[in-house]
Amino acid sequence: MEGAAPRRMGPDEDMGPVLSLLTMAFSFMEGRIDPPSSLGRMGVAELSRAAAEAELWVIEGESGPLACMILTPQAETLYLGKLAVAHAARGMGLARQMIGLSVARARELGLPSVSLQTRVELMENHATFAALGFEMVGTTAHPGYDRPTTVNFRQMV
């Protein structure tokens, strides 16, 4: 979306539209991933907390948020979580724009990389993140699982 710049949301803003975007964008995972997405346990209070304790970024359109992500500084990386793009805005380069911002924020924070995770079952996400400059660096398992459930990606900055 030409001209739309990401902006950082504050914790006192209305998180309902962001939660709606995330719910719609992540709905394709239902029934495909095991365990279910942590988004099912996320509400407006958790998004407000993310805006206060981490960084919640959005790209807005006339009718509300078109893309969002949560950036969380960790010891050796900037963790990119809950990256979502509205169905109607896909193919406009918004995910690429958000990832570019995450790389810039990592540099500003003096962190050497941006990291993210996606589920093992979501092969299309693996290909997308590889095309956006991320390298697969390993897998992890959710508690209680004896097989990998998550694929870890990293992009050096």
What's the first-to-final CA gap in the chain, in angstroms?
25
The tens digit of pLDDT for each residue in 7-52 reads 999 999 999 999 999 999 999 999 999 999 988 889 999 999 999 9
The tens digit of pLDDT for each residue in 81-96 reads 999 999 999 999 999 9
- Reported pTM: 0.95
The tens digit of pLDDT for each residue in 102-124 reads 999 999 999 999 999 999 999 99
122 burial via Cβ count (<10 Å: 0-12, 13-18, 19+): middle
* CATH topology (fold) of 7-112: Aminopeptidase (3.40.630)
- DSSP secondary structure string, 62-73? TTEEEEEEEEEE
